[in-house]
Every structure is written in structure tokens, then in C-alpha cells.
Structure 1
Amino acid sequence: MSVAGLVLVYPPSRLISLLWPNWSVPFGLMAGLLAFPLILRLLHEQTNHAWSRAISAVVMTWLGICFVMLCLILVAEVLLMFPLPSETVGQGVAALVVLISMYAIFNAHRLHVHKIEVTANQTVNGTRLAQISDVHIGSRQPGFLKPIVQTVNALDADYVLITGDLIDMSNIDIDSLAPLGEIKAPTLFCIGNHERYVDLDAICQRLSSLGIEVLRNRSIDRDGLQFIGIDDAESKSQVAREIKALNANPDAFRILLYHRPDGAEEAAAWGVDLMLTGHTHRGQIVPFNFLVKKVFPRLYRDYQVDGMFLYVSPGTGTWGPVMRLGSKCEITLIELL
């Protein structure tokens, strides 16, 4: 509650006091700033219909705006140590909050394609892989899947790889996921932490019915490629524990799908050539990236780990606030050379 008060109550009430210094912010308004977002979010958790998901998206985006406001208010508090008119400082903060928030919301609706090249063996030379990750249908409306699928199909990939957190709320029905059935290329999926938090078995069944190959602690061989999918887990030893039970195909280019950028050294020792992950969102909203990097030092983009190529996607969607600041919604095109 203290954190909620710091983010939801302090920034807007402090901004009001800067803009109108002679007006005392009523306690009822401060209580409402704290209570209404929590009540509406709880309402969504209890109902989980399309309309409540829309309300939840608005509430969570307001939370993101308040976080942006908090960062700017903290800067304003430093400026107010100097003889500056509070109204002028408040007006500057208000203008920046509006501009930055509008950009962050706009940026969260744009899809960017990032292309990378990975050295592979001769048999798979020219293969194109498209990775999507952290779409977060639930936080995002199901309609967001349509432009994702259209973009992926335009890339003419040989395989589409989904590295977890496709959904983040329960009762995401098959009609909401139907656009995934229009992906032209064979599609493979490994679970993320949010699938574990909600109806895991149901979502895997729905994806399978749409023709998506769900890889749960197993591997398949296709066209000189060995795809391995390992279930997400909080334990940093998950990859080491699960991958040793699988057999590496010595003639294949081995690709591991794992939701979070953990266990890379163990994957490389097993013989993985390419490891694809997500989870970090690159922090999604600055300055969260500095905090996330403390937990996941491999925050974003590509790394070489003991001869293995590791790619950490910033995610294709957003979790919580429909905002991106200092990061982008990405679909990754991987070309094997």
C-alpha cells in the first residue's frame, strides 16, 4: 500500500499543489486516487470479461503515467530548492507528463522488426526464423494479434517461434487467439511465467488446436534443426535440470526456446547453438531498465556465451501499462547463414 500510495497518490496530488499552491488537496481526492485503480483492477480479476480487460488496461496505463509523473516530480523537488515559481515548475512537469505519456502509449502500439544474422552449418543456411515474445494478451487486447500475424507473415519466415507470455490473464478463449491460426509458417511455443500463473493446460490445448506446436521440456527435429522447448521456472537451475534429460542431435543446428535469459552457460555446455529468450521487456519504461538489469544482467539483444548465440527479445507486447519508453515492441527476424 505504501508503494501504491507513492506511485498513485503522491505524484498527482503534488502536481496539483504545484499548479494551484493556494488550494489544499482534499483527503477524499487522495483516497480516491489510491482506491479507484485498486478497486477497478480487483473488479477485473473477479469478472475477466472483454469490457473488464479494457478497464484494466486503462487502469494499468494510468499507473504507468503516474510512474512517469513520479520521476518528473522528483526532479521538480530538486529544482524547487532554487528560487523558482512553483506554478512554472508545475506547468513544466504537467507538459512533460502529457508529451512523454502520449509518446509512450503511441510507441507501445508500433511494431518494429529487428533483423539479426547467426552463423550456422551449411545444411540450414538461408533458414529464416521469426521470434515473438511477451505479447501479453490480457494486458493487451486480442486485436493486437492481427497486426503481429500480418507482420510475421510478411517476413516469409520458415518457422515462427513464440518464447512465452503470450497471455497473462485467464479465460483468453480460442476466438481471441484465432489470428495465430493464420500464421503461414510452422509455429512453435514454449511457456512463460504468466502461462504458469493462469490456465496453463487450457491455453496449451487452445494453441495446439490452432496448429501450434507446444514444446514442454522436449525437442523436435525439423529440416536440419533441433528445436528444444523448456518450461519456464523461477529456479535458475531449470535449464540445467531439464536439458540434461534430452538428447542432442549431433547433425542438427540446435535452438533452445526458454522464456527468461537464465541457464545460458548450461545450455551452451549441452550443445545449444542458438538460445532465444524474452521476459525482460528491456525494462519497458525507463528507468525500470536499470532495476531489471540488476536481476537479469543480459537485458536485451545478443550475447555470445561459450560459443552459443543468445538473443534476449525486448518483447512484442507490453505488460501492465500499454506504454513503452526507452524500449520498443519487437518482432525479431533471425537469418541463419
Structure 2
Amino acid sequence: MEDLEKRYIFNSVFPSIVLSFYNYFLLKAMWALIGSPNNNIIILISLGVCVLTLISSYIELYNSNKFTRSIMVVLESWKWPSLIFLFIMIILYLISYFVIIPKIITISIYLVVFLIGFYAYYNAHKIKVIEYELEIENLKEELNIIHISDIHYGTYRNQGLLKKIVEKINYLADKGAQLVIISGDLADGSTSIGKEDFNEFKNIKIPVIFTPGNHDYYPGIEKVYSACENAGIYILNNNYCTFKDLTIYGLNYSFTNPQKSFNQFNINPETNNIMVYHAPDHWKDFIKYGFDIQLSGHTHGGQFYPANLWVGKFFPFCKGLFINNQGDKTSYLSVSTGVGTMGPPLRLGTNSEMVLLKLIPKKIKP
């Protein structure tokens, strides 16, 4: 069975059945607070959402189109407000034991949640540029690198996002950016990847380097590689390349332990070494091997509330730039929240971002 079909069974079939029951009880509780719920309508809505999800997500695997993409965006976007409504229902029902809550207040709360959801959708589609300045030893000239991650090209984010990315990259290139590095999850795994899907990247004015993340394997890593090569993207597949004063290593995402893979590299600690690895893990190991900078993503910074409150518990280096000082040696870890989104195309409490890393020669202390 192909990876896409396995993901369909485990990520669509089982969750959709469970969510149909969840939606039924949630909608019934929401309706009961403002009137007498119509059980037949609630059942019809819950089953309709389930069937639409199953049919549309299956079509998307092999024949992605605007109609099914639009359906999936709406259905997937409902997941966030439904979670918030669950918390609200618990609170409102507890309060209702002590006081009568006017219907107008309950309806107003419902509307506010939906309005916040619309803002989260808008925020997810606005790319923000974050700039950091990094002092690097043995660097002869200033270099500006654009670090992006987690595009998740698929059902929910596709050609429209790629065009925005290319426009933003070219704007930064005109301002002095010299290289783009994608630290994984270029593909999402919700659709198959065709050879020409990434062709928009042919319009980028500067070189692009890519190292895969976990989602790039779901639609078939060879298909992702083929689309990258066709778009002129340079793939670092457990190997390295040089760019001016930099040696850039790309380590494929490992579902077990990547240490066996990066042990193969003959790393010169006297050069300026960058490690591109999708997950923000093993930073201390990479530092010991002589890497100055690690570029990662994967976490999305939690993407939206309340996930952004607990993702940091699993990933201590959740988002932003982290600095490690050991004697005179300074090492950096850049963790991007991602330029795309996974699942619901919403962001609340995080941004869709590009990271502009301004590498400058380290100042020698007198």
C-alpha cells in the first residue's frame, strides 16, 4: 500500500469517523444553549461533514482540484473553532448551574470565535520576515541567507503560496539576500506531487537549497526530488555543498536516530559549517561536531492557540534564534515557525515567516 493511501486511512478515515460523533455532540450542546436542538439536522450535518471529508480528501490524493481543495479548506478550518467551542461549552454549562446566561451573550461568544477564526486564516496567509544578525568566526564577508521551512505544498497551501514566497524572496534578493535554504516539509502529503508542481521556484533570482523533512516522504520522496530538480532546486540529501565561505550540510529527516547519518561527514571545525536538519533536535551533538549554525523547522511554533502553549513542552527549542556560547565559540540554532501551515490553514499566536539570517564576521576582542 502506498504511503498516501496509508495516510488516508489513518489521517482521514479514522479521524473523520471519530469527528462525526464529536461534531454531533458539540453541535447539539451549542444549539441547546440558544434553543431546542433539532436532532435530525445535527445528524445530517455531522454525517455530511464526515462524508465530504472522506470523498474530498481521497480525490485530493490523486486528482487535486479547486473544488475539493475549497471543500477541504473549509472543513479543516472548522477543527480549530470546534476545539475552542468545546472549552467554551464546558465553561458555559458550569456557569449555567448558577446563573441564567442570556442567549444574546452566548450567540455573541459564538460570533467572536468565528471572527477570531477568520483573523487566524488571514494571518496564516500573510508572510512576515524576521531578521537576525549572527557573528561567525572565519567569515570573510557578510552573507545574507533566507531560511524558510514547512511550506507544506498540498491541499491547503499550493500555487498561491509558492507565488507569494517567490515574490518575497526576490524582494529580499534585491535587498542583498544571496541564498535560500529550505529546511524540510516542502510537500505536505495531502496530495501527490507532480514533476512541475514546484516550477514557480524557477523564477527565484538566487540559488535554492533543500533538505527533506518528514512530510516530504509521505507523497513519495522520489517524486518530491523530481519536482525539485525540475524547478532548479539543489537537493542536499545526506551530503554537502559549499557557498562562498560556507560549507552547508543537509541531513535527511530521520524517523529514528540521525546520529548514524551525520557521523559519515568529515567535518572541519575550522570552517564555517551549517547543518540543515528538519527537526530542532540534536543541536548539542551538532555543536560538538563543529557546526556553527543549525537550520530547522518542524514545530510551526505550535501554529495556533492553544497548541502553541504546549508544543514547547515537547520541543525546548520551539521557535526563534537560540545561541550557545562555549568559550570563544558561538553556535546558533534557527527554528522557523514555517511559511506554510499543517492541517488547518490558520495561525493564531504565531506567524507565517521567512527568516533572514545576516551573517557577519565576528569582531575580534582587543
| TM-score of the superposed pair, with normalisation by structure 2 | 0.84
Percent identical across equivalent pairs? 28
Q: CA RMSD in A?
A: 2.2
1:163 is aligned to 2:180: no
Tell me how far apart the structure 1 counterparts of residues 319 and 150 of structure 2 sit (CA, whole Å).
13
Within the candidate set 289, 296, 314, 1:270 is matched to: 289
Partner residue of 1:296 out of 296, 307, 315: 315
CA deviations over 1:116-163 (Å, ceiling 9, x no partner): 111113534410000111111113122211111111111121110001
Cα distance in structure 2, aligned partners of 1:89 and 1:33:
29
Task: From the superposition, tell whether residues 141 and 76 of structure 1 become closer, same or farther in structure 2 (CA, over 3 Å).
Answer: farther
Deviation at 1:45, TM superposition (A): 4.8
1:23 aligns with 2:40: no
Residue 227 of structure 2 is aligned to residue 206 of structure 1: yes
| 166 and 74 in structure 1: CA distance in 2 versus 1, 3 angstrom threshold | farther
Q: 1:276/1:90 Cα in 2 relative to 1: closer, same or farther (>3 Å)? A: same
1:313 aligns with 2:336: yes
Q: What are the superposed Cα offsets for residues 93-114 of structure 1, whole Å, 9 maximum, x if unpaired? A: 2122221111111111111000
Q: Is the 8 A contact 1:54 1:141 kept in 2?
A: no
Paired residue for 1:218?
239
Sort the Cα spacing of 1:303 and 1:7 in 2 relative to 1 into closer, same or farther, 3 A: farther
Question: 3-state SS of the aligned residue for 1:234?
Answer: coil
Q: Structure 2 matches for 1:107-186, cutoff 5 A?
A: 107-138=123-154, 139-156=156-173, 157-169=177-189, 170-186=191-207
Partner of 2:7: none
SS in 1 for 2:267: coil
Distance 1:104 1:137, change over 3 A: same
1:258 partnered with 2:277: yes
Q: Tell whether the 8 Å contact from 1:132 to 1:315 is kept in structure 2 after alignment.
A: yes
Structure 2 residue 115 is matched with structure 1 residue 94: no
Matches within 5 A, 1:212-251: 212-235=233-256, 237-238=257-258, 240-251=259-270
Give CA-to-partner distance per residue, 1:247-279, whole Å, 9 cap, x none: 113442111111111111111110110001001
Segments of 5+ residues of structure 1 without an aligned counterpart are none
Deviation at 1:47, TM superposition (A): 3.9
**SS of alignment partner, residue 171 of structure 1:** coil
- Spell out the pairing of 1:182-197 with structure 2 (5 A cutoff): 182-197=203-218
**Could you say what secondary structure the match of 2:112 adopts?**
helix
Looking at structure 1, the residues matched to 97 and 316 of structure 2 have their Cα atoms a distance apart, in angstroms, of 36
State the distance in 1 between where 2:98 and 2:148 align. 48
Match of 1:62 in 2: 78
Q: Aligned partners of 1:247 and 1:314: how far apart in 2?
A: 30
Unaligned ranges ≥5, structure 2? 1-14, 361-366
8 A Cα contact 1:229 1:258, kept in partner: yes
What SS class does the counterpart of residue 33 from structure 2 fall into?
A: helix
The AA in structure 2 aligned to 1:302 is: L
Equivalent-residue separation in structure 2 for 1:188 and 1:46 (angstroms): 27
Question: Counterpart of 1:313 in structure 2: which amino acid?
Answer: S
- Matched residue type, 2:349: G
Moved over 4 A (4+): none
Partner SS state of residue 198, structure 2: helix
The CA distance in 2 between the partners of 1:33 and 1:267, in whole Å, is 49
The number of residues matched between the two structures is 334
TM-score by length of 1: 0.91
CA change 1:268–1:101 in 2 (3 A) is same
Which one of the candidate residues 5, 22, 32 is aligned to 2:47? Answer: 32
Q: What is the CA distance between 1:115 and its match in structure 2?
A: 0.3
Provide the rounded CA distance (Å) in 2 between the counterparts of 1:203 and 1:58. Answer: 27
Answering whether residue 302 of structure 2 is matched by residue 283 of structure 1, we say yes
Q: For the residues of structure 1 that align with 2:199 and 2:302, how far apart are their CA atoms?
A: 29
